[in-house]
Amino acid sequence: MALLNWSYNIGGCGDVALNIYDLDSDGQLDVFVNGSCNPTAFCINGNTGVLTWSVASGGGDSPATIANMDTDIKPEIVLVIFQDKYEFLTGRDGSLAKVCKYLRIQYKLIRFWWMQIAMEN
């Protein structure tokens, strides 16, 4: 049985599910959480509890989706943040992912298509 050896204060309510993933591709699992009261995304080293990086995120109460969305082998993070917005971050350091411009366009097209179907019904 694994025991929790550390804790990290995200400075507000942590009412969103955590993600556990090797975000920075260093071979060790990281803990990712997007704060809702403190609108900041945190990547914490899963072994040590030391903050790897944090970025302003806009806050949100939906868990992130983590996957490799482009041709490299590193993961990207998709956050749905408050006011129906979204961010695409790199797992390496939380910076905006290069893939975000393309995915934002695709998201808008899919959302427009979905709204058209909903209006027809």
- pLDDT tens digits for 2-55? 676 898 888 877 778 889 999 988 899 999 998 888 889 999 999 999 999 999
3-state SS track over the chain: CCCCCCCCCCCCCCCCCCEEECCCCCCCCEEEEECCCCCEEEEEECCCCCEEEEEECCCCCCCCEEECCCCCCCCEEEEEECCCEEEEEECCCCCECCCHHHHHHHHHHHHHHHHHHHHHC
Residue 80 Cα to chain centre, angstroms: 8
Q: What is the pLDDT of residue 38?
A: 87
Provide the domain count of the chain. Answer: 1
pLDDT at residue 109 in the model: 55
Residue 8 covered by a domain:
no
Which amino acid, 7? Answer: S
CATH number of domain containing 42: 2.40.10.480
Tell me the per-residue pLDDT of 85-106, one tens digit each, with 9 for 90 and over.
778 898 889 988 765 555 555 5
pLDDT at 85: 75
The answer, as to whether pTM is greater than 0.85, is no
Which domain does 80 fall in, by range?
A: 19-120
Give pLDDT, residue 117: 60
Which pLDDT tens digit goes with each residue over 52-81? Answer: 999 998 888 888 889 887 777 889 898 888
The answer to the question of residue 9 being in a domain is no
pLDDT at residue 103 in the model? 55
Task: Please report whether residue 14 resides in a domain.
Answer: no
